Structure 1
């Protein structure tokens, strides 16, 4: 069969279908252009959520599958007849295409893809990143694995493994050993390893001083003291505060387990100031509220603060300071501060950060800052230079000078 050659750079995906919330078993579904549910995706997502995956993961998978369905519509291939050629061309298209935007960039057009001179962080652009492509490949392989298992899909998964890993998954598996990854996907791009950066103290002081409310100061003070994620902090309720021991209870993002984390005394001071400004808080209600949203034109009303409102806080501060900080920078900063504290073990840092494996903490945060390494090497070179200028140490008595010259090469034998 002759392989079809496509000009992937000339392909533009249509605005076909949508992902929308649903009140059924599956919280997010893919709908076609006529508003009907895409049944193959729905059946897969039912199985996906039955395996105890979170709502956010369901939404992410739905968007990846919607993009795949749009691609199949353009190349005119039925979903159950897709081959590795379609997946290969899809990956090539993702590497060359730009993300669709509902509105054109305005003030961010000049900074997209550039590096901020203050934070040394790169601004996001409209290209699909390697992690996005790898996630898309993983979603498609999982989708087709489900349908191959049920007997309703293709005979061979169109998302192939790398040639060196083309063997039956878990063949001859030892039941006494844990299951491991089935191998690298063939069309997965390489992902450059990113090193976390610690926010300098002076930059942190600038960021904190630019905040406009005690609520924002309280949230950021909590984040910088224990490295909790944004979603974990936004889920805190009044009953999750232990004022006596200065602890805050969060629900971990991955495991959904409740965990008490220590917080700084300054963070609790800002929380107290924030609570004093508003109405009495129900201990069972969320802790963070905002008045910045209008209730259908009826004036200001209290609304539970969500992630988008927190992003708006950083947009305002970044516009003022000319930076591009994010909440995750505070998590990195807190983690690196703890990892470099000799009084804390790496196991302590792992527990506070909520990592499932100690290797994750070690690989990500047990790193040396380049600036500190350069400084120590410069001090070493200066010390070597100073030692070279010093006179040789005096020789202990009882030795003949001629014998020492022979021994150390100072004279003829």
Structure 2
């Protein structure tokens, strides 16, 4: 089983922790992706270390341990494998060009909420088996129904099952659109046709980075200018339209490879050849290599753009096009619910809002002051006849 589950939590003796191993095996068997298994393994590793620190056995944990972990995560700094060098001065600050905040060394509310969800799922598995604690140590908030939507009105939408008691609130974030001039600067800073091709495909199709990196040679529809991706959540295949410019750069990049790709061969490959035991050859491009491309660009431009900003940019451009409906945008982005697309991308352009407010303030400044009212005992009409107009 150790070779089946791609990620495991091991003890100091390099032996897999049995309760976590059994949970991850079941989690993988429920058709979850290896990336999700990795995410859950790291969340349970944090929980296991916390239980060791407070000297509590895993099957004796209570809501007090969950509460204390949430409090600790709220004020603790992340343990880094290496110290910050160039990013030490910018950590936690806002980039003046992109207006995006740099990451700092503290745990974000989304990380805490994910940790609670992972631990709750782990104990639900053991409670269902009858081998864990009787009560889940990650409880839901008080005052909620024991069965979700048990008194649901069919005329009203379904509500969520209930918020986990110790989940911190997550501030709503605006989508990060890249202005046209900033997009031109970023594109001009790219050094290879491969990078130009994958960036052009991302900003025109709205695909996620992982979805684009998984594209094979057979997934390119040259005649219709389509790219087939495997969706992150559903694992469903979907053809996405890309711009003619993206296919031009893609053709130039593939010509540089010097040979035609096999149908099942990854499209995106490293520019340098490496020897992995079979001689020098190009390797499939992974997410770290793509991040390295953006690190070089950001160092050159003084920005902190990411690949996901291109997805936001594509989504906002499409949502503001009157020829496309929100259903069209939802289908391209791969959202399960239309409300997700509308809530995120039906927003006003911040720069346009600021421009209109400046016009409003300038208009108020240019207006003449209102005439002062006449003193007691005088008639406004008589004064208007006498002075040839209204009072000033």
TM-score by length of 1: 0.84
Match of 1:170 among 136, 148, 152: 148
Which residue number corresponds to residue 245 of structure 2?
Answer: 266
Distance 2:275 2:211 in 1: 26
CA distance change for structure 1 residues 164 and 349 in 2, over 3 Å: closer, same or farther?
A: same
- Give 1:181 deviation, angstroms: 3.5
Match of 2:306 among 314, 326, 339: 326
Which residue number corresponds to residue 78 of structure 1?
Answer: 57
- Stretch deviating more after TM superposition (369-378 or 316-325): 369-378
CA RMSD of aligned residues (A): 2.5
Distance 2:323 2:304 in 1: 32
1:349 aligns with 2:329: yes
Distance 1:243 1:228 in 2: 17
Match of 1:133 among 85, 88, 112: 112
- Give 1:240 deviation, angstroms: 1.2
CA distance change for structure 1 residues 343 and 179 in 2, over 3 Å: closer, same or farther?
A: closer
- Give 1:150 deviation, angstroms: 1.0
Across the two proteins, how many residue pairs are aligned to each other? 371
Distance 2:61 2:48 in 1: 11
Structure 1 regions of 5+ residues with no counterpart? 1-20, 390-401
- Give 1:105 deviation, angstroms: 1.4
| 1:119 partner SS | coil
Distance 1:180 1:293 in 2: 53
Match of 2:211 among 220, 232, 250: 232
TM-score by length of 2: 0.88
Which residue number corresponds to residue 148 of structure 1?
Answer: 127
CA distance change for structure 1 residues 125 and 22 in 2, over 3 Å: closer, same or farther?
A: farther
CA distance change for structure 1 residues 179 and 143 in 2, over 3 Å: closer, same or farther?
A: farther
| 1:303 partner SS | strand
- Give 1:27 deviation, angstroms: 1.9
CA distance change for structure 1 residues 84 and 285 in 2, over 3 Å: closer, same or farther?
A: same
Structure 2 regions of 5+ residues with no counterpart? 370-380
- After superposition, the C-alpha distances for 1:22-43 in whole angstroms (9 at most, x for unaligned) are 522x221111111111111111
- After superposition, the C-alpha distances for 1:160-214 in whole angstroms (9 at most, x for unaligned) are 111232x423384779999863211111111010001211111111100111100
Which residue number corresponds to residue 86 of structure 2?
Answer: 107
The answer on whether the counterparts of 1:250 and 1:260 sit within 8 Å (CA) in structure 2 is: yes
| 1:161 partner SS | coil
- Stretch deviating more after TM superposition (358-367 or 370-379): 370-379
The answer on whether the counterparts of 1:291 and 1:300 sit within 8 Å (CA) in structure 2 is: no
| 2:9 partner SS | strand
